[in-house]
Amino acid sequence: MDSMFNVHLILLHIITFLTLVQQVLSADFQFEACKPKTCGNGSIIIKYPFWIQEDYCGQPGFGVTCKDNDPILHTSGYDYIIREIDYENKSFRVENPVLQDKECPVPFQNSTFSDQTPFKTGFNVRELSFHYNCSNYQPGRFGYFVYPVTSSCAKSSSDDKLVSFAILLFTPPKDFVMDPLIICQSLARVPIEMEAEPSLGPDGQDKDYMLLLKKGLTLGWDRISCTGCEESGGYCGFDKSSIFVCFCNDQPHYESCNGASVTPIAPVAVDKPTAHGMSFST
């Protein structure tokens, strides 16, 4: 009986050892998948609530793709370039991609973050309203905040009298009424951010709307914080029933790697009761 007990004890040790080896060698695949990433050589870390490949690593609406070394956020308007993410303050800064277009740095599409996205814009967001190929335009009619749009891609080459320009709209932009005499062929509005009144040039006009676009736009989010999970060595995400989980090296846990584990995974769960059963039977 004694030797039988020893054999069981040795077996138990071997099984425990093998289980440990298995746990160390095979880190949870979701843990692997949700490790923070960058786009190529880029310096911006992409992690929860953002995600690149696996949507369970982040929140809906926070999916990004990589273009060259930049993370790109897709919206119903533009595919914005993410320039900065501040995970601590839950905010990020995006830039309108038209700025990268050397030939034609002019927006032709509407873009808004107010409705369908999970992001909040700051209170200092205004809109730049671009009006293309307009007739009867008279300079000075709108006061100060009109910006000439002179790129050749933005205006008619055949009709010199057609003019393109951008107006800075103060909130609420809905209330803006265009001079009915001015007839334009197309219109596009994009959000911009302003810390203060626009700076005016010597003749009362800020000459370059590009300067406004270049500041980019800061967006905020307020979803579940990942701090507890990250501090315990895990990565946040969601399980199949959209419940918030913390993916840890061994398996997913609730809240943090120190929390209760989500449905245990087969090898670990099966080996342990068997080993216990054997030692109890002696």
Ligand X SMILES: *[C@@H]1O[C@H](CO)[C@@H](O)[C@H](O)[C@H]1NC(C)=O
Chain residues that interact with ligand X, rule: CB under 6 A:
40-41, 69, 86, 88-89, 108-110, 132-133, 154-156, 158, 185-189
Rg (CA), the chain: 29
Q: CB 185 → ligand X: shortest distance, Å?
A: 4
What does each C-alpha distance from 111 to 50, 69, 75, 118, 168 come to in angstroms?
21, 23, 8, 15, 15
**Class of residue 276 by CB neighbours under 10 A (exposed 0-12, middle 13-18, buried 19+):** exposed
Q: CB 37 → ligand X: shortest distance, Å?
A: 13
Residue closest to 149 by CA, chosen among 121, 136, 168? 168
Q: CB 237 → ligand X: shortest distance, Å?
A: 23
Q: How far apart are CA 236 and CA 49, in angstroms?
A: 8
Q: Nearest 5 degrees, angle CA 10-CA 13-CA 19?
A: 145
CB nearer ligand X, residue 89 or residue 242: 89
CB nearer ligand X, residue 108 or residue 142: 108
CB nearer ligand X, residue 109 or residue 258: 109
CB nearer ligand X, residue 109 or residue 121: 109
Residues 6+ apart with CB under 8 A from 15: 271, 274, 275
CB–CB of 214/205 below 8 Å?
no
3-state secondary structure of 57: helix
CB nearer ligand X, residue 22 or residue 185: 185
CB–CB of 128/212 below 8 Å?
yes
CB nearer ligand X, residue 183 or residue 278: 183
Q: CB 79 → ligand X: shortest distance, Å?
A: 16
Q: CB 275 → ligand X: shortest distance, Å?
A: 48
Number of H helices, E strands in the chain: 5, 13
Q: CB 163 → ligand X: shortest distance, Å?
A: 10
Q: How far apart are CA 6 and CA 140, in angstroms?
A: 97
Written as one string, the DSSP assignment of 203-256 is: TS----HHHHHHT-EEEE------HHHHHTT-EEEE-TT--EEEE-SSSEESSS
CB nearer ligand X, residue 19 or residue 156: 156
Q: CB 158 → ligand X: shortest distance, Å?
A: 6
